[in-house]
């Protein structure tokens, strides 16, 4: 079978989508990428004006494409610089011409074996091949255009004709069929996570305005600044976006109209990545020796025993790192010291960079931090914080409430599918991690891959490795094991994530503490040597990054 004649669709032209398309093109495929936006970049094109990378640009890069003119790029690049980098990558490798912008995939339906037959397969897709026996296909319903009249086209339209849609002035829906589907839709946009409120305690009783952080990010910078100006703004959340929004509020209104930030569980946010002024963060948590201290999924008894014996050393490294950041950042003074250790934040992908001068703004009074023990409710003129005793606590007046409460990535994934069975199984249950083998393939969903759902401390690196793996899988370079073996592996990784991330964050599917180990599995599948460094010292103690895997194409 000549796989390169097969039709492959990619949904999303963000970091993952452009990487997958590039590696498929390199292997002779002609994929089609659908993206609802007007340019490549995904969520980087819809973000706050002040948003920057969480890692230095030298670490955040594709393996075979350095940043153009790095001396002109900020050490922590702005979001527009990231978009420019992704666009340059897409142009350089011919990805951009394969993208059909303003084309939103509304639904994906597998046309082939019925659900009851597929559920009994012993091999993925029936025979273990990426394209099955050739009888199955994915039917995508795509909405093209953004404005104008609506037209429904029922006759098939050749994929090659899609280029003409770039200038389409009407909105219409079109159905296409593909032999393989790759979802690169991310998990930090699309479906906001809105807290549940008791009767008479939700946003409907509030006389002001309530929005999600996604709504603010989708606005033009000027409109977002105008919305914040002169208002009593309350930001709810403890993640990176909550800190960024509070900082933008403080910039807009100063001490005359302070921004209130309501936080339940603080996270570890750093001001820079050199610990104790000399040791780079990556040397402590992103090399093979650091992973030697972790009980890894799929590792042997000897490896896990060694990790257990070395656990005091891991505890010491984590404790010293925590002590440094507590000394340098006045988090304890303002009640913002996390309740869990730094090592757990790495394994949960719950670390980030503080907005510049954040605690200076807290000190001057332009940001006011309030902690709530459990939850909050709305009242006519603001919020009421739960005092933990079942009674109403402090009232916080507000004109605008911004919920920086994250996203429901699992629901976004489910919403792609027509089949009730696939909706049910693709993202697992609340008690399991998302059941993807190698974080890319669902053992019971044929001819489909997901790239970019699992997180890493540097997401672009993980996305590119997944893209290389999926491209080789589609090209027939290797075959997947049996469905049973894949499900056993999924369960083992799920147990690791629950153990390392704790009961609240295991569904984030974070690779942060075992990224090299994960890449080792991908390398072995692809027939590549997982040891990428020269010399034993470098192999064990130097941080691993994208460039180490540049020769895997």
In angstroms, the CA 125 to CA 445 distance is 7
Q: What is the pLDDT of residue 156?
A: 41
pTM of the model: 0.93
Cβ contact 184:460 at 8 Å = no
Question: Residue 254: which residues within 8 A CB-CB, separation 6 or more?
Answer: 366
In angstroms, the CA 32 to CA 10 distance is 6
pLDDT digits (tens, 9 = 90+) for 188-226: 877 899 999 998 899 999 999 999 999 999 998 899 999
Q: Which of 372, 397, 367 is nearest to 383 (CA)?
A: 397
The DSSP 8-state label assigned to residue 266 in this structure reads -
Strands (E), 373-421: 376-379, 382-386, 392-397, 400-403
Q: What is the pLDDT of residue 153?
A: 41
Q: What is the pLDDT of residue 503?
A: 80
Q: In what order do the strands lie in the sheet with 448-450?
A: 99-100, 32-34, 8-11, 180-183, 448-450
pLDDT digits (tens, 9 = 90+) for 467-526: 999 999 999 999 999 999 999 999 999 999 999 888 887 778 899 999 999 999 999 999
Could you tell me whether strands 382-386 and 376-379 are parallel, antiparallel, or unpaired per DSSP bridges? Answer: antiparallel
Cα end-to-end distance, the chain, whole Å = 22
In angstroms, the CA 66 to CA 59 distance is 10
Length of the chain counted residue by residue: 553
Q: What is the pLDDT of residue 149?
A: 40
CA angle (172, 176, 178) in 5-degree steps: 155
- Report how far apart, in Å, the C-alpha atoms of 291 and of each of 199, 314, 346, 540 are: 47, 10, 12, 9
For the chain, residues with pLDDT lower than 70 are 1-3, 70, 115, 147-169, 387-392
Q: What is the pLDDT of residue 476?
A: 94
């Amino acid at each position: 079978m000549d796989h390169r004649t097969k039709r492959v669709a990619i949904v999303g032209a963000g970091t993952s989508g452009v990487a997958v398309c590039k590696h498929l093109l390199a292997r002779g495929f002609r994929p089609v990428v659908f993206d609802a936006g007007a340019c490549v970049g995904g969520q980087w094109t819809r973000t706050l004006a002040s948003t920057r990378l969480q890692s230095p640009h030298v670490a955040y890069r594709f393996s075979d494409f350095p940043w153009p003119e790095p001396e002109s790029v900020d050490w922590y690049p702005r979001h527009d610089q990231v978009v420019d980098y992704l666009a340059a990558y897409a142009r350089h490798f011919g990805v951009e011409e394969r993208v059909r912008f303003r084309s939103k995939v509304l639904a994906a339906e597998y046309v082939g074996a019925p659900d009851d037959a597929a559920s009994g397969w012993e091999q993925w897709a029936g025979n273990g091949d990426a394209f099955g026996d050739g009888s199955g296909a994915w039917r995508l319903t795509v909405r093209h255009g953004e404005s104008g009249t609506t037209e429904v086209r029922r006759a098939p339209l050749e994929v090659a004709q899609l280029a003409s849609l770039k200038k389409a002035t009407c909105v219409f829906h079109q159905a296409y069929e593909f032999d393989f589907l790759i979802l690169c839709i991310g998990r930090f946009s699309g479906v906001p996570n809105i807290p549940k409120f008791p009767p008479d305690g939700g946003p409907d009783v509030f006389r002001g305005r309530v929005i999600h952080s996604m709504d603010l990010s989708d606005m033009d910078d000027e409109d977002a600044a105008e919305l914040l100006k002169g208002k009593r703004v309350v930001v709810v959340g403890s993640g990176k976006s909550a800190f960024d929004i509070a900082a933008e509020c403080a910039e807009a209104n100063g001490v005359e109209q302070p921004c209130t930030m309501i936080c339940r569980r603080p996270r570890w946010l750093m001001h820079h990545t050199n610990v104790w002024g000399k040791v780079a963060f990556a040397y402590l948590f992103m090399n093979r020796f650091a992973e030697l201290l972790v009980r890894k999924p799929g590792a042997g008894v000897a490896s896990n025993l060694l990790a257990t014996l070395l656990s005091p050393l891991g505890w010491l490294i984590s404790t010293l790192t925590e002590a440094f950041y507590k000394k340098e950042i006045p988090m304890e003074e303002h009640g913002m010291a996390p309740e869990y250790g730094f090592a757990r934040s790495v394994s949960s992908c719950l670390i980030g960079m503080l907005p510049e001068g954040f605690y200076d703004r807290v000190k001057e009074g332009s940001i006011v931090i309030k902690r709530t023990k459990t939850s909050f409710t709305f009242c006519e003129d603001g919020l009421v914080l739960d005092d933990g005793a079942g009674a109403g606590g402090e009232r916080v007046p507000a004109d605008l409430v911004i919920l920086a409460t994250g996203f429901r990535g699992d629901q976004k994934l489910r919403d792609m599918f027509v089949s009730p069975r696939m909706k049910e199984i693709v993202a697992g249950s609340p008690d399991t991690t998302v059941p993807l083998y190698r974080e890319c393939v669902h053992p019971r969903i044929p001819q489909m891959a997901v790239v970019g759902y699992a997180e890493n401390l540097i997401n672009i690196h993980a996305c590119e490795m997944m893209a290389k793996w999926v491209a080789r899988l589609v090209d027939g370079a290797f075959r997947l094991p049996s469905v049973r073996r894949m499900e056993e592996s999924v369960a083992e990784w799920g147990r690791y994530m629950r153990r390392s991330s704790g009961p609240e964050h295991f569904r984030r599917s974070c690779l942060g503490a075992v990224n090299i180990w994960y890449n080792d599995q991908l390398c072995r599948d692809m027939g590549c040597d997982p040891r990428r460094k020269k010399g034993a010292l470098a192999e064990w103690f130097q941080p691993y990054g994208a460039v180490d895997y540049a020769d895997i194409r």
